[in-house]
Structure 1
Amino acid sequence: MSTDPFALFDAWYAEARTTEINDSNAMALATVDAAGQPSVRMVLLKGHGPDGFVFYTNREGRKAADLAAMPKAALLFHWKSVRRQIRIEGAVSHVSDAESDAYFASRSRDSQLGAWASDQSRPLPDRATFEARYAEMRARFDGGPVPRPPHWGGYRVAPERLEFWQDREHRLHERRVFTRAGDGWREGLLYP
């Protein structure tokens, strides 16, 4: 049994990547806006390590506004195939431009063009409007490289707390919690 939360995350994530049918890297991201209104949505984990858990998005959308107002978030991985979940809470910061550029360059061309075409989270009159903007971006970058839009980039959630939940029969679940203690971690158990 690991006492390093990142080694434990790596082991559980590796298992989920082989057993979860779709999007084993999907995680719920919970934020709070300036008025205290919570919001949750699914995003994809694109990097992780002791410095945090990384996802990418349009920095002009609702989640970005929430994170600007309150730079803290909670993440939840739920893997039904292995009957496990991991909850993560921590402070949020932007990843570097270089890291955002590198990830953006790895995306499919269609995804790159979509990042330029979307006014994420803003009202859309109809699907045809978005498809027309996408077509405009295809014409604009006509076969050339698609640079990262200035309004698009990554965020890193630096964990202060990680909880590992394992389903057990009769709802006698196992819950291990790690909380940051200086440069290390304090480990404990929670009642199910």
Structure 2
Amino acid sequence: MTLKRSLPALPLMLAGMPAAAHTGLNEAPGFGAGFLHPLGGLDHVLAMLAVGLFAALLGGRALWAVPASFISMMLVGGAMGLMGTQIPPAEVGVAASVVVLGAMLAVGNRCLISVAMILTGMFAVFHGYVHGVEMPTGAAAALYCLGFASASALLHGAGLATGLVLGHRQMIRVAGALMSVAGFILALS
């Protein structure tokens, strides 16, 4: 019972932990820099947790397909960023992902898994693009991408585990509403 009560605080704990990720101190050239990058922004953390919660809400094949869609399309976006491809306001796409995914959770939307994969994959391109564009000079691109994909997968897993342990649609809806509001605030700041 204590685990169920403490899990809703997990996103807040994860969001507060990596505040030093963008200080430039002790940044690893490659995997470490890539791993820390998604943890350095509340918008990224919230979106990754929302993807996991969304997969838990849908259940079944979505438990692996939705996060896998996000990770694969995020890597496509990362490659686009590394190659210098221009994506119009990517940060707006990142903030929109938090707002929209949070809203989907808030209304308890149970859509087709294919629709969830397309929606999360579309937003993933923006997240990956930002990671790719912001890769530190001198970082090994493949290791950097592996790093941000690994951190994102862990955050998806945290959202998924939270959703499965809570198992209560109302708690997931409340979390989604809070995420959506946070996304609006982040978009305005």
TM-score, scaled relative to structure 1: 0.27
Identify which of structures 1 and 2 has the higher relative contact order when contacts are C-alpha pairs closer than 8 Å and 6+ apart.
2
**Higher strand fraction: Structure 1 or Structure 2?**
1
**Higher helix fraction: Structure 1 or Structure 2?**
2
TM-score, scaled relative to structure 2: 0.27
